[in-house]
A and B are shown apart, each in its own frame.
Chain A
Amino acid sequence: MTIDELTPTTGEWLRGVGSMSDVVISSRIRLARNLADRPFLATASATERTEIYRCLTDAITSTSAGSDALLVDIEQTDTLDREVLVERHLVSRQHANGDGSRGVTISPDETRALMINEEDHLRIQALRSGLELEALWEEVSGVDDTLAKRLAFAFDRQFGYLTACPTNVGTGIRVSVMLHLPALKLTKEIERVARAARDMHLAVRGMHGEGTDALGDLYQLSNQTTLGKTEEEIIGVFSETIVPKIVEYERTARDSLAQHSPYQLDDKIWRAYGILVNARRIGSEETQALLSPIRMAIHMERFTSMSVAALNELLLHTQPAHLQKLHGKTLEGEQRDIVRAEYLRSRLAPSP
């Protein structure tokens, strides 16, 4: 398996299946771990950093944690391929753009990605489409157990797992759920989501957007505290309390739009489609914004010209790095917008 082979596929986070997938795009759990007898990355020398990298990649690739995984040495990887990994949610942007010895191991189905020398020595990530947190926890915890048999992780009886930043200390767990909330945005009820999240001490932010507006109506909900609760309690707040509640808000808002403003709604959907099918140059952000009402419409069964799978493929493959990889060469901004429009027309226009 190589990055070139991954690029034409859709990737796990956009598989479009799983629990509540009409609203929940994907869920993710990350665990932060550090080796007990090594300095954290802020003070590690280049040599120490390389040793940590070797020590972790050896342990991962020689056990079930990643014996079948693709190992990417990010320092030796070109910018475009790094961007592909970011767009596929396999590494953080910070990790892609960082410095020094660092890498990631990726399972063949892309559900598992172990980041080495990101902010901590190790970040164990599991990712699935839909709301699947219990399965994800089982997976990351299993990887943690496998690696703990060979490596000693920094652990303190009071503070738990020790991390480079004290905001991650304790469980070292970061749970994130990506939600698609176009109807709440249209009905000006996004504040309800913010309030529900604040009540549960969770953070919510718009995805990818340049400013404060959420690009493609995608929002990410994640825990802020990692200490003083068990991992199961932290996960339970998402899967049992807040996510079902927000999903209900969004479904109600969609029903209300369908009932009270059907013409306006269909007009918005078909205008979006009209631009995607006819544009001669189009940016990545505009594409994502236009795909949002179409995604909602497919789930509302108001739009049957496209499947969710096809839409997800468009969403990923029109992002800058994927577009250029699939086109076979790097493109300047203006040229990219023209190629993106051609790609969209070739995929969407009814065959003559």
Chain B
Amino acid sequence: MSLVCQRCQQAKATVHITDTVPDKRELHLCEDCAEKEGVIIKQHHQSTNEILQQLIKHKAGLGAAGDLACPNCGMTVREFQLKGQLGCSHDYEAFKELLTQLIERAHEGATHHVGKVPATAGETVRKHAGLLRLRRELQEAVEQENYEHAARVRDQIQALESV
């Protein structure tokens, strides 16, 4: 038996709930209405593949962009789109333009790492990461009008830059 959603009276009911607490109820709803009624949580998260496909569509069809290949592993953009996974770490360089846009979309606009750096990474990498983190901290301090803290961070930046 296929029920129609009790709320919108249109879509097929796929969420079925019977309960006695706090009220006796039997609910047969479609997913959208069940979410509006507060009884289920629907997924809104866009997958990488969806974001990627949208991006590629914007670029007026796959064409030449799809044939772009990594010189190290041979993976092409088209293959990446199919698999949703990159072929090697050099792909980040080979597909940099496309990946930067994709990464920006997937990470709330961020394009730079500010977290942990491997303890064994070269001094320049550590310095670079430290500066990025401090500059962001400075920006936040200024936005929050915490000038005392901002001055301290600015001094730290200058000290690190002169190393």
Contacts and interface: CB of A to CB of B under 8 A. Distances in A.
- Check if A and B associate: yes
Interface of A: 34, 36, 39-43, 119, 141, 144-145, 148-149, 152-162, 164-167, 169-171, 173, 185-194, 198, 201, 203-206, 211-214, 219, 224-231, 257, 260-261, 264-265, 267-268
A164 B118 contact: no
B110 interface: yes
Contacts of B42: 194, 212
Given A43-B87, A171-B115, A191-B38, 16 more contacts: A40-B86, A40-B89, A43-B88, A157-B124, A158-B112, A191-B41, A212-B34, A212-B41, A225-B108, A228-B112, A230-B133, A261-B23, A264-B20, A264-B21, A264-B23, A268-B21
A148 B21 contact: no
A267 B21 contact: yes
Contacts of B102: 166
B68 interface: no
Interface string B32-49: 001111111111110010
Contact of B107 (A155, A162, A225, A264): A225
Q: What is the size category of the interface that chain B forms with chain A?
A: 35 or more
Contacts of A160: 113, 115
Contacts of A261: 21-23
Contacts, number: 179
A42 B87 contact: yes
A40 B83 CA distance: 12
A43 B92 CA distance: 15
17 contacts: A39-B87, A40-B73, A40-B87, A40-B89, A42-B75, A159-B113, A160-B115, A162-B89, A165-B86, A185-B39, A186-B21, A190-B41, A204-B41, A205-B41, A206-B40, A219-B41, A264-B22
Contacts of B107: 167, 169-170, 225-228
Contacts of A230: 114-116, 133
A156 B14 contact: no
A191 B107 CA distance: 24
Nearest to B39: A188
Given A119-B85, A159-B113, A228 B37 contact: no
B114 A186 contact: no
